[in-house]
């Protein structure tokens, strides 16, 4: 059991792609956590263990690890940088006594930097600022330091938070300095960061002699040992023999007993016999535990404050597949199976909300990326379902309906500024400020309704030839505005079921952009492309060429089709309108109309 004064609990926070996980990997490798042959790993990020984290290059879930430096044990929490996963940040900051705030030496403080720092300062955590990537050719370290100072002035709760240490680092190379180096090529390591954690981050303010108390901050599932309840011990000490009680959110008490007790060391959990206040532990045997509940001594049950998570801003329908091709490509496709899986997800995904609606469900989250990661996870677990268009989650306040708005930061070349401004103007975005960066790009800040963000990224990527940099952050609520106009063209809709033919697709290609290739199985009401005009067009893409025994001048001409557009999951979600659905299976993504029969679509359009 470690003395609390030799324990440091720290969270690494930053905007996306500012180098949190890379720096943490350096700390792991330089703390002798691995054997020499393990330390010579490839450059893939050690802490980003999920398949989607590797593929997307982002951190999705917060993770705990621990390293030892001299006599000190350092518990470190790696947090996501995307605003969509900020619920992960909010709950895990409760385990920390201080934060390492990573800021890019070129980009400076970004929207998510502001969000995570505000949460850390509200909790009274001690900040340590690290200016990372100081080897960038377009670095602007002095200006970034001034911007960080302004951010602290804006967010600080008391005067003591305005005094913070600043360090400089190249996380990818595992180098850090206490002052700006004259020669970044010199051979140094991350010792200044280790020393900063020990000297600048306070030890946990806890008492070992009082009755045990711990807030469940994270959960983990293991097919062998079941559910792990993870959190920081707020007071007291614990062993397998300690009689415990689980304090539910509604105030009820449930007797609990520990089966196994673990602490973290590097990437593994080490089984222990007892642990003391201030340490981060994981315990098994308490199957009823949920995030935000308190595990306490049975003789002195006292609940800790429940973790307060901000409300979701985006919702979408998710239900069992109702297309003619249902049940052919997945193992799980019933409403009950989907519902059970979503309820399981609720235990670990604190920002998610699920409500039943008919045979399906309405899932609500922090943003499109948050929900699309969940959809992709279900898809990879052999689920089949359909989803509807994302909708903004409104609230009622003082008798008025209000919608969420976001602070949108866009960085783009000057030649594309007009195209970006025109697109944002149609979506009722209000400009706040505009500045020219050191690299010559234009950085603009807007306040925009959350519902106007749906589908915006793909449009701006097209308008700027893929050069736009977008970041957004929740910015409260405003009175609900008028309905936004549809900016997308109509759809090409299949009128016949069967396999597409090159002959029919060649004729359809003149009408718009195709989403399917030859030999693809389609059904009536399935969307096969985007029409080059407004309104939808029904078209037969299964028609074959009539064969006769007469030769013509064009009979032997080979058909040369324009390559079709294979939409990704995010692009498909952005594409669909209110009267359309996306069919998701482990093998396919199919766009379709909500009503497959054309006559039923016309009747429904007249009603609306």
| DSSP string of 205-217, one letter each residue | ---SSSPPEEE--
How far, in Å, are 25, 37, 398 from residue 34 at the CA level? 11, 8, 57
Using CA atoms, how far apart are residues 9 and 17, in angstroms rounded to an integer? Answer: 23
Closest CA to 167 of 6, 63, 23: 23
> Which residue bears the tokens 């929207």?
111
Measured in residues, the chain has a length of 608
Helix, strand, coil shares, percent, the chain, to 5: 25, 30, 40
Q: Are 312 and 391 a contacting pair, CB within 8 Å?
A: no
Q: Which residues of the chain have pLDDT under 50?
A: 36-44
Q: How far is CA 385 from the centre of its chain?
A: 21
Q: What is the DSSP letter of 317?
A: E
Domain 213-297 annotated CATH 2.40.30.10: yes
What number of other Cβ atoms are within 10 A of residue 239's Cβ?
13
CA 378, 383, 384, 386 torsion-angle sign: negative
DSSP string, 373-429: HHHHHHHHTTB-EEE---EE--EEETTEEEEEEEEEEEEE-GGGHHHHHHHHHHTTP
Please report where in the chains the tokens 């998570």 appear, as a residue: 309
Cα distance between residue 376 and residue 569, in whole Å = 8
**Residue 25: closest CA among 173, 203, 180:** 173
Per-domain residue ranges of the chain: 4-200, 213-297, 395-479, 491-546+557-607
The CATH number fitting domain 395-479, selected from 3.30.70.240, 3.10.20.340, 3.40.50.11540, 3.40.50.150: 3.30.70.240
- Give the other-Cβ count within 10 Å of 576's Cβ: 24
Q: Which residue has the tokens 């091709």?
A: 325
What DSSP assignment string belongs to 469-520? EEEEEEEEEEE--PPPPP-S--EEEE-S-EE--HHHHHHHGGGEEES--TT-
Q: How far apart are CA 569 and CA 453, in angstroms?
A: 16
- Residue 231's contacts (CB-CB under 8 Å, 6 or more residues apart) are 95, 214, 215, 216, 217, 218, 280, 281, 295
What own/partner pairs with CB < 8 Å and gap ≥ 24 does 339-347 have?
341/378, 341/381, 341/383, 342/318, 345/374, 347/219, 347/290, 347/291
Burial 5-34 (b: 16+ CB within 10 A, else e): eebbbbbbbbbbbbbbbbbbbbbbbbbebb
Q: Which runs of E-coded beta strand occur in 154-199?
A: 166-170, 175-177
Q: Which pLDDT value is given to residue 363?
A: 93
Identical fold between 4-200 and 213-297: no
In contact, 48 and 54? CB cutoff 8 Å: yes
Class assignment of domain 4-200? alpha beta
Predicted confidence (pLDDT) per residue in 512-561, tens digit: 899 998 889 999 999 999 998 888 899 999 988 777 666 655 555 567 77
Residues 12, 59: contact at Cβ < 8 Å? Answer: no
Contacts of 508 (CB under 8 A, 6+ apart): 492, 514, 528, 529, 539, 541
pLDDT tens per residue across span 485-511? 777 788 999 999 999 998 889 888 889
Of 398, 238, 213, the closest CA to residue 300 belongs to 213
Name the class of domain 491-546+557-607. Answer: mainly beta
Q: Give dist(CA 212, CA 238) in Å, integer.
A: 7
**Rounded Cα distance, 449 and 478, in Å:** 8
DSSP per position, 421-461: HHHHHHTTPEEEEEEE-TTS-EEEEEEEEHHHHTTHHHHHH
Other Cβ atoms less than 10 A from the Cβ of 435: the count is: 10
Confidence at residue 42, expressed as pLDDT on a 0 to 100 scale: 43
Q: How many helices (H) and strands (E) does the chain have?
A: 15, 36
- Give the integer Cα–Cα distance in Å for 501 and 509: 12
> Residue 274: how many CB atoms within 10 A of its CB?
13
What does the DSSP 8-state code read for residue 310? P
Q: What's the rounded Cα separation, in Å, for the pair 275 and 233?
A: 8
- 358 by Cβ neighbours in 10 Å (0-12 / 13-18 / 19+) ranks as exposed
């Amino acid at each position: 059991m470690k003395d609390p004064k030799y324990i440091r609990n720290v969270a690494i926070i930053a905007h996306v792609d500012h180098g949190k996980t890379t720096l943490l990997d350096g700390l792991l490798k330089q703390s002798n956590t691995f054997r020499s042959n393990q330390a010579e790993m490839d450059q893939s990020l050690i802490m980003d263990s999920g398949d989607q984290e590797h593929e997307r290059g982002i951190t999705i879930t917060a993770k705990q690890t621990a390293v030892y430096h001299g006599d000190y044990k350092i518990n470190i929490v790696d947090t996501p940088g995307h605003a969509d996963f900020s619920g992960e940040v909010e709950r895990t900051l409760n385990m920390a006594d201080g934060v390492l705030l990573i800021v890019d030496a070129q980009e400076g403080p970004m929207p998510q930097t502001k969000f995570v720092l505000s949460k850390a300062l509200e909790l009274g955590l001690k900040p340590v600022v690290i200016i990372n990537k100081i080897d960038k050719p377009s670095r602007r370290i002095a200006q970034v330091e001034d911007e960080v100072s302004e951010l602290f002035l804006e967010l600080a709760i008391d005067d003591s938070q305005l005094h913070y240490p600043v360090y400089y680092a190249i996380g990818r190379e595992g180098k850090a300095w206490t002052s700006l180096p004259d020669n970044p090529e010199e051979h140094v390591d991350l010792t200044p960061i280790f020393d900063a954690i020990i000297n600048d981050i306070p030890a946990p303010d806890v008492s070992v002699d009082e009755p045990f108390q711990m807030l469940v901050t994270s959960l983990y599932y293991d097919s062998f040992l079941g559910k792990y309840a993870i959190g920081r011990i707020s007071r007291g000490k614990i062993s397998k023999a300690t009689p415990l009680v689980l304090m539910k959110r509604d105030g009820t008490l449930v007797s609990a007993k520990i089966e196994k007790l673990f602490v973290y060391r590097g990437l593994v959990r080490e089984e222990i016999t007892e642990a003391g206040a201030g340490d981060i532990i994981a315990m098994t045997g308490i199957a009823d535990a949920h995030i935000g509940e308190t595990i306490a001594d049975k003789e002195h049950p006292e609940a800790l404050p429940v973790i307060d998570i901000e409300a979701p801003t985006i919702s979408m329908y998710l239900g069992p597949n109702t297309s003619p091709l249902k049940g052919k490509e997945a193992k799980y496709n019933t409403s009950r199976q989907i519902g059970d899986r979503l309820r399981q997800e609720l235990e670990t995904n604190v920002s998610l909300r699920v409500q039943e609606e008919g045979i399906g469900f309405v899932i609500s989250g922090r943003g499109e990326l948050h929900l699309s990661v969940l959809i992709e996870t279900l898809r990879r677990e052999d689920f089949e379902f359909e989803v509807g268009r994302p909708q903004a989650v409104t609230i009622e306040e003082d008798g008025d309906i209000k919608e969420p708005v976001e602070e949108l930061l866009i960085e783009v070349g000057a030649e594309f500024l007009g195209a970006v401004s025109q697109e944002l103007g149609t979506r009722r975005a209000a400009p706040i400020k505009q500045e020219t960066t050191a690299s010559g790009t234009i950085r603009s800040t807007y306040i925009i309704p959350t519902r106007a963000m749906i589908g915006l990224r793909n449009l701006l990527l097209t308008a700027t030839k893929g050069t736009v940099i977008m970041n957004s952050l929740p910015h409260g609520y405003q009175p609900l505005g008028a309905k936004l106009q549809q900016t997308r063209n109509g759809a090409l809709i299949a009128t016949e079921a069967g396999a597409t033919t090159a002959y029919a697709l060649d004729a359809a290609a003149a009408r718009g952009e195709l989403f399917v290739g030859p030999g693809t199985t389609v059904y009536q009401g399935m969307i096969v492309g985007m029409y080059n005009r407004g309104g939808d067009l029904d078209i037969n893409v299964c028609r074959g060429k009539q064969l006769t025994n007469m030769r013509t001048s064009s009979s032997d001409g080979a058909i040369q089709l324009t390559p079709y557009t294979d939409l990704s999951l995010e692009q498909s979600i952005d594409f669909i309108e209110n009267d359309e659905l996306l069919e998701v299976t482990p093998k396919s993504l199919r766009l379709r109309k909500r009503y497959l029969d054309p006559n039923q679509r016309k009747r429904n359009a007249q009603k609306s």
